[in-house]
Structure 1
Amino acid sequence: MEAPFALTEFVRRPGLGRVGNQTRVRANFFEVITLPENDILQYDVTISPEVPPALNRRVFNRFSESYRGSALGGVKPVYDGRKNMFAHKEMPFRDAGTFDVTLEEDEAAPVGRKRPPRAFTVKIKKVSVIRIEELHRFLDARGPCTTSVLTGIMALDILIRHGPSITYTTVGRSFFTPRGSQPLFGGSEVWQGYYQSARPTKGRMMINIDLSATAFYEAGPLVMMVTKILGRRSPDDLRRGFSDKDRQKVEKTIKGLRIRDNHLPGRKRRFKIERLTPTPASSTLFDRGDGSNIDVATYFNQQYRRLNHAHLPCVIVRKNVYLPMEVCDVIEGQRQVRKLNERQTADMIKFTCQQPQQRANRIRQGLDILNYQNNEYLRQFGMRISPEMAVVNARVLPTPSLQYHPSSRDSSFQPSFGQWNLRDKKVATGATLGSWSVLAFMDERELRDQTIQGFVRELVNTCQDTGMNIPNRNPPIMRGNPLGNIEEYLKQAWLKAGNTAKAQPQIILCILPNTGVPLYAEIKRVCDTVIGVASQCLQSKHTMQPKKQYCANVCLKINVKLGGMNSFLKPENTPFISERPTIVMGADVTHPSPGDRGPSIASLCGSMDAKASRYAASIRIQERTTEIIAELGNMVKELLKTFYQTCGRKPERILFYRDGVSEGQFKQVLENEIHAIRAACQALDVTYKPNITFVVVQKRHHARFFPIERRDTDRTGNCLPGTVVESDITHPFEFDFYLQSHAGLQGTCRPSHYHVLFDENGFNADGLQTLSYNLCYLYARCTRAVSLVPPVYYAQLVCTRAKFHSRSGAWSDTESSEEGAGAAATFGVVKQELQRVMYFM
């Protein structure tokens, strides 16, 4: 008999779940009512000379217009801006053709002089025929996901994007329009965008449409932009000139920006900014060509007009070509690629944060802009898309029962709407805090001893009320200069704690003057990798008038950092974990941000008890941008050993949640990482073969759910926590589901997408969905259900923390230094005494 794996490399859906209340929700998917009837032809396109995709598209569109009546035989092919072209039928030139295209010098090329029209050669070669029948077989679960199926889905993707890409600015799978844009701080603005993607589901194709937003540079006078970058009110405020720091800030922001000049009547040339002159226009000299020198301001005065801002530097656009800032205009539609600063990020969040109803309406407005109904490309391929958002089947899973210490008033209860509070509750296992100290990075004038003592009193009382045991209620208070030798201060605070209590120090409470990263990062580096002691940072503003709620949140963190346990679930809510020794693992890899030359960081967290409440972590630094975890085997081995030392038994089952993997990487990650997990088990004992389940968790997707019935909404208008969708918009036959496990705080909730790639534990849909949902109530840092399973959440926290363990300051906001590439050598290792507790909370 044929193996059931013939259709898919991954796990087939084991039937649909039944647990929970049935309901229906809207999802931002639009059904493809008719797919192309004919097979689709794929061609390879080579445009020479090589130019960026945006210009490629213009060359291709010109080619398409020029040859439509002749070589293309009336066909309107679609194109992805790089190599792929698709057509709905054979064309007169058959399998290959070479065409000449001329493009007039236009608005898009950054040039200095008037250019003659540019000549391009477009070579087209037929590479394959996509059989629509094969796509139908895949959607109906009668055939596997072949190369032809994948190419077919890609062709549909390019088909829906081709029309908008001619009219609008495209970035990835989204296109953006300046309609309704809003200014961001510092000379940028945020544009509304629409994301679209063709998705295969059971029996049909769907188009996933969502909102996206990205930052663009504001078009208009360059002087205005510079005013905003420096946070001044008007260009007049620049009259005092630039300090060196100002100049560097402006240069860093506008380098590479495309501008056009405005001082020549009837002729606007385009340039790209290379850098700024170190001197103002009034004293920037250049050679006139006859051996004599003249400054830019005087030259402009004589040739064109008097400058209003001769005190500002010039922009250098080519070797020895200087333009005064005020004769430059920023060209529209340039995306800001640099990282947004804090203020811009806050503005961006405000713009993108929309209540579910508002978001659904905006998506519908996007349909008008996409205008599928009148899209000539879709019409020619015979593809029709429904204008209605899909209504899909969903279930709301039951809420698990949380357990606190038996002496609590409500020691066992079911949270409502995914949240609860600590009133009258004691943590399940309270840690004892005897040896500690307080280190304030502020002087007595900014924060008095009395204030600190008052805060410590409130914190100690709250911790005691919450079930911790604090025999030492008056820790020594010390001071440190935030710009001084942080390592030395922390060592002193550690010694003082130990000497005062005559015991090994357990935690240092650090009071910080602000939210700046460098001080926080250095405290974490020293405590985690040099001294080996837990640390708890607080902002000074919270110590002034201590709030009970704030102290309770700090208490939750301190308790787990010292090895305590905040809460757990009734064993019947997690039978898979409680019935047999089971380790739940979460893995993540984070990559350096653009411009940062640091390495990638991989982390793995594993549960250490039958309650899956306590976790230990393992970290490795690896080659930048590698998604596969290079040293997973050793990391798994570390955690299996720790589990054995903690519980006295080997796990018989491993449930492995893997974050941050895109669909294209599923196969590679699965093959490499399952092999590494297996090898780790056998390295410990040749006969040791626990059953493994490997699940990918994705947050970076564009599926959103909108409640239809009032009874299915929480107070923010989102779906209820525990809403699970496993049909209609999921894979045609593989085991995947969307789970929205958290309550909305603001905006529209993003569900997590779980996709099972490998399963030796024989999970059915209900088993894995309810377990994943119930685990979301065990995140130790807060009293609400979170949006993805805690082991993955912890792995993300550990990756973030590991960035701070570098001596090279890879965490700083500035673009990191050259030696970042060799940063692996400078990352400190977390001290042994912290590796078994949740120091990263």
Structure 2
Amino acid sequence: MEPISKAPSKLTDFVLRPGMGTLGRNIRVRSNFFEITRLPAGMNIIHYDVTITPDVPPILNRKIFAEFERINLSRALRNVRSVTLPEENGNTYGRRPPKIFKLKIKKVGEINYEELTQFLEGKRQLTSNCLTAIMALDVLIHHEPSMKFVTVGRSFFTPQDSQVLSGGAEVWQGYYQSARPTQRKMMINVDLSATTFYERGPLLQMITKLLGRRTPDDLRRGVTSKDYQKVERSIKNLKVRVTHRGEVINKKSFKISKLTPASADSTKFEIGGNTMSVSEYFQKTYNRRLGYSFLPCVVVKKNVFLPIEICDVIEGQRHIRKLNERQTAEMIKFTCQPPHDRANRIRKGVDLLNYRASEYLKQFGLTVSNDMIVLEARVLSSPTLTYHPSSRDFSFQPREGSWNLRDKKVAVGTTLGSWSVVCFGTERDFSSQVIQTFIRQLVITCTDTGINVPNKTPPMMHANPQGDIEGTLKQAWLRAGNASKAQPQLILCILPNTGVPLYAEVKRVTDTIIGVASQCCQSRHMIQAKKQYCANICLKINVKLGGMNSFISPTQVPFITDRPTILMGADVSHPNPGELNHPSIAALCGSMDSRASRYSASIRVQSGRNDIIVDLSNMTKELLKTFYQSCGRKPERILFYRDGVSEGQFSQVLKGEVEALRVACESLEPGYKPNITFVIVQKRHHTLFFPLDRRDADRTGNCLPGTVVESKITHPFEFDFYLQSHPGLQGTSRSTHYHLLYDENSFSADGIQQLSNNLCYLYARCTRAVSIVPPVYYAHIVCRRARFHSRGEQWSDAEISGGVGAASAFGVVKPELQRVCF
């Protein structure tokens, strides 16, 4: 049988769909796609590029173009037009005359939808004309919402149903929409989104919340210089209105540049030849005595000072700074909605969009269904998991994607002989007796699950969480070795909170300085010492020390057991917005045995927010060598799962990274050419599924684990599918989208779908099926862990300017820790 990737048709450079899958139980689901029932027919849409000068923000561009449309309603478009934007409340020009803008209009081409229709029907490849036609549909469906609502990317937001967060922010409900090509149809994908804005209303109230005070009067107790710096950073460039001069003036907006160094009582300026303070000015001019004159003023222009208490924050200003831990928790609570509620809110969004009544859509002959599409889906069976034969229930099929360790022993248990415990906190915070009770329960659970623990009373020490962490961990390592007269295997660290800095430093030191496995526990869980929590800790310890928790029968994963096969997962992690001096990190994880239970990792630092893995060839060589050392044979097949890639990058990634795999293989041995399958894995999409029948839903109302969808909303002819492999916990579950770009292993639809689903039951760190195949999951963990290896994530310009070679700030993981699940 010829490889699928060599199909004679040149419809695509990627893999053609080999047919539909048949395995599993047939069900029906709704999805948040709305069919475009009629495309523009019998007409050409003219595509213009419009340049507006002078350059202004997008929100003003829309007003200018709306005014242009109004005056050109019955006239032919000219090459260059001038538009005078009328003076209106809310502009930022003050009393200056209205501004004149020039519009340069250039015809680019004409869009005919016949070509797009042929692509949707699988009769021709995706051309630039098709992409332009899809872009035009996106422009059409976004135009009216962008004129009415606050827009961010493909989403628009309304203050309706908003919720106030702590720290002077609020979260708004939004609606995402995107025109998507699918099998024989164009559809509109509509989903909920949410983003944070600065809390509208009194600036004084917002600052009170920023500083964690309950009421503005609490500010009278004193505000430190550090508090002032925090406030100034937070409110810089914020737009406000004043509230002291009546409704008309009230509409004018000002942009904050900074705070005055002194209070309103002490900030002075000259007026009419006299010098007076801001407080005196307001008393004399407006007969208003300031209630918070001990606070600084905001500076909005040179020598223009406004008391904080007369300013109101204008609504709809995005909060682009990173949320703190409490805000993040509040945000998650706001966005976490059960499937039924989410579906109803999406329908509400479609009503708000009101496609049927849109004059724009009517003018272009576009009609859209108001009903979610109904799809055929299948629920794949779960694999049979195997634990140690001495277990009472050693071989079983999990129900609804989860199971527990009751009456089970791990398949291959390790021995934990040399270890120590560090509690980051004082004896007063966490008594030795509480810690010993937790250790006792942990040791009992380890023994019950098949892990041998000869040393049941490891040395224990308290340490300062703000102290010398590296010194503490080195001391703990020495104590472990001295107590057992053997090489230390593990340091168990009890952390006082969920904060990142301490955890990051523990991992940096143990991974890159000492070279010993570490296991962190939260103190609140230690105090309770529940058996389920201890069982999860045991699973992690076992794989970190080289054990195997469970495996799937070879007959259910023949692709990785019939012939030597390596599974690889790759991801690139970028720094947060604003972290200009931080690099990107690329991670590659590969399986090291025929049961896909042990993995090794390779990591690289790369600059420039590059989504392509720059040094993939050498990273692959490292893992192929490790595989050979572990198994004694070279892989004959490579199944490569790649995360972190958008559709627009498919061609670039396929060309660059498959070639890098080939180069790696050839460099190890001339003529070495294992068969490669390259699969893109996407979680950041807006496709949701809702079971039609309650019998096809789990207890949370989500689709059952193993639900696969490959028709109607997938690519017109390429080989892709959606797989929801995990059980729901809370909110609406999101499936994973798999798209095969290259395939020399001739996978059938059933073959790759069932294999991917089965692999999701082999994630070693929990007793649940996970939402994404383990090689990629481990690559995520490695990327995150690698950031902790960079001296607390502190990078300098000099270290980053070197690109891939800028590893001086990047601690290298000790070799003995590279072959374990992180």
Instruction: Tell me the TM-score normalised to structure 1 length.
Output: 0.94
Please state how far the C-alpha of 1:424 moved relative to its aligned partner.
0.5
Give the drift of 1:114: 1.7
Q: Give the deviation of 1:320 after TM superposition.
A: 2.5
Aligned to 2:604: 620
Match of 1:295 among 274, 277, 292: 277
* Deviations 1:759-779, CA, capped at 9 Å, x for gaps: 111001000000000000011
Distance 1:147 1:821 in 2: 37
Whether 1:176 and 2:157 are equivalent positions in the alignment is yes
What residue number does 1:58 align with? 63
Structure 2 residue corresponding to 1:232, chosen from 208, 213, 216:
213
Residues 497-549 of structure 1, C-alpha deviations (whole Å, 9 max, x = no match) = 11111111111011111112111111100000111111011122222231111
Match of 1:20 among 24, 34, 39: 24
What residue is the counterpart of 1:813 in the other structure?
none
Is contact 1:592–1:624 with CA below 8 Å preserved after alignment?
no
State the 1:550 CA deviation. 0.7
* Amino acid corresponding to residue 300 of structure 1 in structure 2: F
Question: Which of 322, 335, 341 is residue 339 of structure 1 equivalent to?
Answer: 322
- Post-superposition shift, 1:725? 0.3
Letter in 1 for 2:447: Q
Deviation of 1:820 (Å):
7.4
Tell me, yes or no, if structure 1 residue 380 matches structure 2 residue 363: yes
Cα distance in 2, alignment partners of residues 821 and 692 from structure 1: 33
Give the C-alpha shift of residue 458 in structure 1. Answer: 1.0
3-state DSSP of counterpart to 2:230: helix
Q: Distance in 1 between matches of 2:627 and 2:80?
A: 65
Structure 2 SS opposite 1:487? helix
What is residue 231 of structure 2 aligned with on the other side?
A: 250
Show the counterpart of 2:192: 211
Cα distance between partner residues in 2 of 1:167 and 1:173? 14
User: Residue 282 of structure 1: which of 240, 243, 265 is its match?
Assistant: 265
Q: 2:272 & 2:445 partners in 1: Cα distance?
A: 78
How far did residue 108 of structure 1 move? Answer: 5.0
Partner deviation per Cα, 1:580-610 (whole Å, 9 max, x = no partner)? 0000000001111012121111101100000
Residues 499-648 of structure 1 mapped to structure 2, 5 A cutoff? 499-597=482-580, 598-648=582-632
- The yes-or-no answer on 1:106 pairing with 2:101 is no
- Taking the aligned partners of 1:701 and 1:166, their CA distance within structure 2 comes to 25
1:282 partner SS: coil
Aligned equivalents of 1:820 and 1:741: distance in 2? 41
**Separation in 1 of the partners of 2:729 and 2:322?**
25
Q: 1:105-254 to 2 correspondence within 5 Å?
A: 105-111=87-93, 113-254=94-235
The alignment covers a number of residue pairs equal to: 809
Sequence identity percentage: 65
Indicate which of 735, 738, 756 corresponds to 1:772. Answer: 756
- C-alpha separation between the residues in 1 aligned to 2:88 and 2:315? 14
Distance 1:669 1:55 in 2: 37
**1:553, distance to aligned residue in structure 2 (A):** 0.4
1:11 aligns with 2:15: yes
Residue 689 (structure 2) pairs with residue 689 (structure 1)? no
> 1: distance between equivalents of 2:759 and 2:698?
20
CA distance in 2, matches of 1:832, 1:194: 48
What amino acid is aligned across from residue 416 of structure 1 in structure 2? R
Which residue does 1:330 correspond to in 2? 313
Q: Which residue identity is paired with 1:8?
A: T
**2:337–2:731: 8 Å Cα contact kept in structure 1?**
yes
- Mapped to 2, the partners of 1:502 and 1:624 lie a distance apart of 48
Cα 1:236–1:819 shift into 2, 3 Å: farther
Q: 1:230: Cα distance to partner?
A: 1.8
| Counterparts of residues 722-733 of structure 1 (less than 5 Å) | 722-733=706-717
CA distance in 2 between partners of 1:783 and 1:299 (Å): 68
Asked if structure 1 preserves the Cα contact closer than 8 Å seen for 2:505 and 2:792, the reply is no
Unpaired segments ≥5 residues, structure 1: 73-92, 811-815
Query: How much does 1:245 deviate?
Result: 2.3
What is the alpha-carbon distance in structure 2 between the residues aligned to residue 730 and residue 370 of structure 1? 24
1:314 to 297, 300, 303: 297
**Alpha-carbon distance in structure 2 between the residues aligned to 1:240 and 1:453:** 44
Match of 1:523, as an amino acid?
V
- Which consecutive residues of structure 2, in runs of 5 or more, have no partner in the other structure? none
Counterpart of 2:369 in 1: which secondary structure?
strand
Question: Deviations 1:218-260 (Å, cap 9, x if unpaired)?
Answer: 2111111112222222222222342122212222221111112
Pairing partner for 2:727 from 720, 724, 743: 743
1:486 aligned to 2:474?
no
Q: Tell me by how many angstroms 1:107 deviates.
A: 4.5
Secondary structure of residue in 2 paired with 1:267: helix
Letter in 1 for 2:29: V
Deviation at 1:836, TM superposition (A): 1.3
Q: Check conservation: 2:263, 2:296, Cα contact below 8 A.
A: yes
Question: In structure 1, the residue corresponding to 2:441 is in which secondary structure?
Answer: helix
Q: Which residue of 2 aligns with 1:762?
A: 746
Once the two structures are TM-superposed, the CA of residue 101 in structure 1 deviates from its matched residue by 0.5
Code of the residue aligned with 1:405 in structure 2: it is: H
Q: What is the rounded CA distance, in whole Å, between the counterparts of 2:418 and 2:792 in structure 1?
A: 32
Which residue in the other structure is 2:383 paired with?
Answer: 400
Q: Show the counterpart of 1:837.
A: 820
Separation in structure 1 between the aligned mates of residue 427 and residue 92 of structure 2, nearest angstrom = 57
Query: Deviations along 1:264-296, whole A, 9 cap, x unmatched?
Result: 343243211111122211112334473x54322
- Equivalence for 2:785: 801
Q: Is the 8 Å Cα contact of residues 808 and 826 (structure 1) preserved in structure 2?
A: no
Q: Secondary structure at the match of 1:14?
A: coil
Instruction: Indicate the SS of the match to 2:265.
Output: helix
**1:436 aligns to what?**
419
CA distance in 2, matches of 1:676, 1:344: 42
Looking at structure 1, the residues matched to 218 and 739 of structure 2 have their Cα atoms a distance apart, in angstroms, of 56
SS at the partner of 1:4? Answer: coil
SS at match of 1:388: coil
- Rounded Cα–Cα distance in structure 1 between residues aligned with 2:796 and 2:621: 34
Amino acid at match of 1:229: L
Match of 1:75 in 2: none
For residues 13-61 of structure 1, the C-alpha deviation after alignment (integer angstroms, 9 at most, x for no partner) is: 0000000011110000011100001222111111111112111111111
Match of 1:90 in 2: none
Aligned to 1:67: 72
Between the aligned partners of 1:233 and 1:453, the Cα distance in structure 2 is 40
> Can you list the C-alpha shifts for 1:127-148, whole angstroms capped at 9, x where unaligned?
1112211001100000100000
Q: Say which of 692, 695, 713 aligns to 1:708.
A: 692
SS of 1:239's equivalent in the other structure is helix
Higher mean C-alpha deviation, range 347-356 or range 732-741: 347-356
Greater displacement, 473-482 / 521-530: 473-482
Deviations, residues 786-822 of structure 1 (Å, cap 9, x unaligned): 1010110110011011110012534xxxxx8766745
Structure 1 residues 720, 804: CA separation in 2 closer, same or farther (over 3 Å shift)? same
d(CA) in 1 for partners of 2:275, 2:576: 44
Pairing of 1:21-100 with structure 2 (within 5 A): 21-37=25-41, 38-72=43-77, 93=78, 97-100=79-82
Q: Which moved more, 1:231-240 or 1:566-575?
A: 231-240
Q: Runs (4+) of structure 1 moved beyond 3 Å?
A: 105-111, 287-290, 816-824
1:353 aligns with 2:343: no
- What displacement does 1:628 show? 0.4
**How well do the aligned residues superpose, as a CA RMSD in angstroms?**
1.5
Amino acid at match of 1:731: H
| Contact kept? 1:105, 1:115, Cα under 8 Å | no
Taking a change above 3 Å as real, the CA distance of residues 792 and 108 of structure 1, as seen in their structure-2 partners, is farther
* 2:434 alignment partner, SS class: helix
